[in-house]
Structure 1
Amino acid sequence: MQHRTCEAATGRHLDPTFVALESPSELLMYQAIAAETESTRAALLGKPSWNFRVPQQIRGFAPAAKRLLQPEPTLADLLPWSALLTLEGCAENAAQRAGCTKQEILKFALSICPYEHIVTVLNFMALDKGSSDVAKILSPLIRGLKTKEARIKQGASIGGKKSARTRQSNAKTPSIPEILQERERLLDSGREASGVAGILAQRYGVHPNTIRRKLQAAAKAQ
């Protein structure tokens, strides 16, 4: 199982118009989950324990009068689709609608739900299957996350090393006036002009071309 959260599955409701899935069977399961989770939400709205208003923090810059006209959502309205899938026989109904098993529906839901909802689906799966079976289902997802984390760390390491080399190189590279001054001393001591770059490069721990570029820049500036 490869986790592939898409934008259509990140909200409280599944987008029923979403069709970008790998196979017709996946699309059928997606549509079944979308339909049954909203059916379950509607059923919960008929129960007092789920149909009470939940105060929400006021956000945005809407006029106060308009805010007062907006009703506060109910608890059922706030439930994400992945939570609804675990209630009121929703998973069983979705499986029946899609023509597959409950575990197939849950495995598919696990593969598309947002990362923060994975535990909700996993705990529900564990009610029907042993912990070892759930671990087998989850292991490919964990491997995928570890691979992603390793790529991020590797990229950061490469970038850090490159930055360190750049800082080290900049720290060793002398200024143009310093190079010109040392060049004059070498020439006054009888050194050949052709060998100055090599001598200074060895002294400062840089490549001879670095010294040559500095000298060329100084010559152009004169």
Structure 2
Amino acid sequence: LLHRLGLLRFIMPELQRCAGISRENLREGENLFEYILDLAGSLPSDLNLRLSVLLYNIKSISHLDEKKEIIVKILQRIRFKNAVIRKVTVLTKEDWQVLNFSKKMNIRQLAVRIGMENLEDIWELKKALIRGSRSSERLKSAEIERAENNIRETLQERPPVSLKDLAVNGKDLIELGCKEGKELGKILKKLLEIIIDRPELNKKKILVKLLIENEENDR
């Protein structure tokens, strides 16, 4: 409606410009603006999700030096609350096209970057892309079912995805003889990488043993 009335250019001119852009992956005769509206309309009625679709695609056509800032600038200009800005920024920093939910390890790695609390929302965005793709309905259904099973199991398992989830902390490492400072942080990050791959190792005794073995190998 805003587009038809000519008002969109005053509110979000960046989105207005999408009306003149076509892409190879779009349906014949469809422009980027129409594609964005269709994608947004296929999502649950959630402000953060629909804003994310609008701004993700605006970001994709922005100049390289604008990409990092343009989403925040637009949301601040329209005077959205900081909570909305933070949420949308997190959801749009990932490349939805390459997100892979076929393995739980990939989901854990994603959770490290965006937080477990954002997994279901970013999946809704990825799912909208899958449903709008040119793959067969059978392949789409299989991909969605597998991904949703993996996400559900991951959320139930609550695997460690941040340093605060580790079974050891900086104090434990210092007691083992590690020096305070940057090296301590590097060790903790390395341990996190290990347990992202194998969450079952996140036990204090096991992590301490790994540290001791690593020190012995370095000698």
Query: What TM-score comes out, normalization by structure 2 length?
Result: 0.26
TM-score (norm 1): 0.25
Ranked by relative contact order (alpha carbons within 8 Å, sequence separation 6 or more), the top structure is 1
